[in-house]
Chain A
Amino acid sequence: MTTTRLTRYDRSMLRLMNDRRGQAWYATAARRRLAVAAHVTLTVAIGALMTHFFLAKGELLWPVAVMAVLLLPWMVATGVINGATRGLLELREHVLDERQSAERSRVLARAHRMTTLLLAAAAIALLITGGVEGDAPKAYAAPLLIAVLVVHWVMPLWVAGLLAQDEPADDEAMEAGQHN
């Protein structure tokens, strides 16, 4: 972490990502897993609505309205995971210290492997479906492309949330004493 070259944006993001006010939301591994599970569920729900939006005709309003409502808890869940990881994926590389940089590389490598496996499974499923029905289901091409893009985008966040560790608690008394 090279504090001399931090821009105002870097400093504000660093403060935001290290804000401990929401710590109770991600203090334990169980809560972090819950946040990731909620994020996955909400992402799938929003993706399904988007698919419906693309495929259905004449029902344009309600999927958009539900998506708008779901986006709020989705953003909260994103914030919880980012808080748990102290902005591992949100902060710019030069803001991170050596351990965080190594951790980010590890998270991205693992997410890349998982996304590759998911894409391979989706491609195989699509090919098998196409083979059985005699034709590849072309109608699903656009939603599938969006699903791929979304999974590719958020997979590192899910992996980072699941790999985040508990905060060491034995320094609280000393820090409290120092601020007094």
Chain B
Amino acid sequence: MSEQVHNRLAVVRAERKVSRQSLAEAVGAHYQTIGYIERGQYNPSLDLALRISKFFGLPVEALFSLEPFRPLTDEVYGRNQP
């Protein structure tokens, strides 16, 4: 079973200027695990996904999705606008 869970973790983490190490310590995971999640090499458990979402103060669906995320710039400005 290898269902891909897409995530925006790298984007949000960079935007909030949080290092992998800091996030890992806050959610009780190893910093490599955060890297694995960002690269799509590991799907976090619901428990870990919720802890990560709580850390950023976002709903879990803002960070994790079964469908690929649209780029943030597309969502904010629209794909076809200059």
Contacts and interface: CB of A to CB of B under 8 A. Distances in A.
Interface of A: 1-3, 86, 96-100, 165, 167-168, 171, 174-175, 177-178
A82 to B, nearest CB: 14
Give the one of B30, B33, B41, B44 with max A CB within 10 A: B30
Interface stretch (B17-25, B62-70, B71-79): B17-25
Nearest to B25: A3
Contacts of A168: 20, 32, 35, 38-39
Contacts of B2: none
A99 B42 contact: yes
B19 A1 contact: no
A174 B30 contact: no
Given A96-B30, A99-B42, 14 more contacts: A2-B28, A86-B30, A97-B28, A97-B30, A97-B48, A98-B48, A165-B41, A167-B32, A168-B38, A171-B20, A171-B35, A174-B14, A175-B19, A177-B17
Nearest to B39: A168
Contacts of A177: 17
10 contacts: A1-B30, A86-B30, A97-B29, A97-B33, A98-B29, A98-B44, A99-B30, A99-B36, A168-B35, A178-B19
A56 to B, nearest CB: 47
Contacts of B42: 99
A98 B38 CA distance: 16
A3 B35 CA distance: 20
A99 B38 contact: no
A110 B29 CA distance: 24
Given A174-B17, A175-B21, A178-B22, A86 B29 contact: no
Contacts of B19: 171, 174-175, 178
